[in-house]
Structure 1
Amino acid sequence: MASIPDDKAPQLGLTIYGAGVVNPYKVVIMAEELGIQYKYVNLDMSKGEATSDWFVGSINPNGKVPAIVHTKEDGTSVTVFESAACLLYLSHEFDKENKFSYAVGTSEYWTQLSWLSWQISGYGPMLGQAAHFNRYTPEPVPYGVWRYTAEARRLHSVLEKRLSTSPYVGGDHLGVADFAVFIYAHSAKWCGVNIEEWPHVQAWHDALLQRPAFQRALKVPALYPFSDTAVSDPENQDFYLGVRKWGTQGIKAMTESWKGEAVSLPSDHANYE
């Protein structure tokens, strides 16, 4: 197993592994809200550091960010990957008073967990697909644009209904579900939708954006590049042209070795007739 470079090795306490992409910001937001001291290791995605032998071998076998390592005073450590698992770990270890969660086993806890699961299973992946087909495909794919933009809009309507009756996504106070959902709502235009169509979502987003911890977190490791304001700035479009070209090339390169024909079935192509 390759050894971890000294400058990227976990330190005593909390170490967050991330990059200037969407999901790591969730974890930094929660760490900032909790006032946790942490070391942030910014992986260079253009150099493939997330898929390097040391990272895959020691930190995250899936080769993605975020991941965290919590090194305790007794020398033991816990490594956690996937954003929701990281949020739940921070809640368990650093939020004993349930400031941003609820007591495990209560109905409120399960409601919060349901909304967190909604984000990681639906809201995030579907907005990610919308962003892919709207911003990253090397050629137009009209069906993909239609399908995932429509689903992104449907999911925003679900969130709108929730926030019309609840002050926060997970319940009656700010919590892990809000941290998870916020960063995608903050990236809505990049994914092809405008949250101004959903006034409760817009108001909730804008209120969270005013929180000092959110403002600090959105600068780690650099100012978050996919906010609605940033991607709409006409003076900064050269940057996003580069992001789209790099993203297209990077996605193709990462998946090239895994390409293959779909397993055929007798019913194939019936839906085309």
Structure 2
Amino acid sequence: MAAIPPEKAPKPGLNIYGYASVNPYKVTVLAEELSIPYNYISVDMAACENQAEWYASINPNGRMPALVHVKEDGTSVTVFESAACLLYIASEFDKENRFSYPLSWQVAGLGPMMGQTCYFNRYATEPVPYVSWRYTSECRRLHHVLDKQLASPSTSPFVGGDRMTVADIAIFIFVHSARWCCVDINEFSNVKAWHDKLAQRPAFQKGLQVPVPYLLSDDAVINPDNQEFYTGMRKNGGQMIKGVTAKWQGDVVPVPSDHANH
């Protein structure tokens, strides 16, 4: 196993491994809400650090975020995947249960669908109209579900009831990226009001600056002065995703009913 480079090695306390993409910002926002000191370690995607042996010792799946919590007694705990990171931080540091709450809907529904919508509409190297239609429609349906949830007197003003939880934080970052993920947040008035309220919280504003100001908010992606950056990001990102996925390409395993739905 390769040694972790000294500048990337975890320090005593909470270490967050991430880069400037959607999921790591969930973790920095929660850390800021709980006022937890943390060491942010940037993983260089352009240099393929996420595929390096040293990073595989922290997260064998090669994604961000990941945590290494070096405790006072010298022991350490490693956690990866954003939902697991949120739940670990809540369990370890939220002793007053301020933010603890299940967040399965974001993990199983909103996050994966928004991610696929974003990929097929923003990064795919060739258009796939039916797939784009399918995922975009599902994202709009999920926003409708969230809008109804936030309108319900029994659950509002937050996703899980009368207090903010990790579920709000996990969902917020995707809603904060709605336009990049092909959804107009203005269609969903309760979601819009909830988003705008959270966006004013000082901890959210601070967490969204680490490691750099969040790049995929609605205001950022429509700024005419930034379009050269987003054009390059889409071209390079699409090629990078295609490249790392290509080695797993294979034929669909057939079953007798194939093509009956076409």
Scaled by the length of structure 2, the TM-score of the pair is 0.97
- 2:120 matched to which residue of 1? 133
Deviations 1:132-187 (A, max 9, x none): 11111112111011101100000000000111121111221011001100000000
Count, aligned residues: 259
Deviations 1:198-225 (A, max 9, x none): 0110011001111111111111000110
Deviations 1:27-77 (A, max 9, x none): 000000000100001111111111111011x21111100000110111001
The reply to whether residue 122 of structure 1 matches residue 109 of structure 2 is yes
> What runs of 5+ residues in structure 1 fail to find an aligned partner?
102-111
Written as runs of structure 1 = structure 2, the 5 A alignment for 1:104-119 is 112-113=101-102, 116-119=103-106
- 1:108 matched to which residue of 2? none
SS of equivalent to 1:44:
coil
- 2:42 matched to which residue of 1? 42
Paired amino acid for 1:40: Y
- 1:106 matched to which residue of 2? none
Q: Is the 8 A contact 1:170 1:176 kept in 2?
A: no
SS of equivalent to 2:147:
helix
Residue from 212, 225, 232 that aligns with 2:222: 232
Residue from 198, 211, 223 that aligns with 1:221: 211
Paired amino acid for 1:253: G
Deviations 1:225-244 (A, max 9, x none): 00000001111110110111
- 1:33 matched to which residue of 2? 33
Residue from 161, 167, 179 that aligns with 2:157: 167
Paired amino acid for 2:181: C
- 1:105 matched to which residue of 2? none
SS of equivalent to 1:191:
coil
Q: Is the 8 A contact 1:18 1:24 kept in 2?
A: yes
Deviations 1:84-112 (A, max 9, x none): 111111111111011112xxxxxxxxxx3
Q: Distance in 1 between matches of 2:210 and 2:166?
A: 18
- 2:69 matched to which residue of 1? 70
Paired amino acid for 1:126: M
> What runs of 5+ residues in structure 2 fail to find an aligned partner?
none
Runs of 4+ in 1 over 6 A off after TM superposition: none
Paired amino acid for 1:87: L
Instruction: Tell me the C-alpha RMSD between the 2 structures.
Output: 0.8
Q: Distance in 2 between matches of 1:133 and 1:22?
A: 16
Q: Distance in 2 between matches of 1:87 and 1:41?
A: 17
Residue from 249, 259, 262 that aligns with 1:269: 259
Identity %: 61
- 1:7 matched to which residue of 2? 7
Paired amino acid for 1:197: E
Q: Distance in 2 between matches of 1:180 and 1:160?
A: 16
Deviations 1:11-35 (A, max 9, x none): 1000000000100000000000000
- 1:107 matched to which residue of 2? none
Residue from 194, 199, 202 that aligns with 2:184: 194
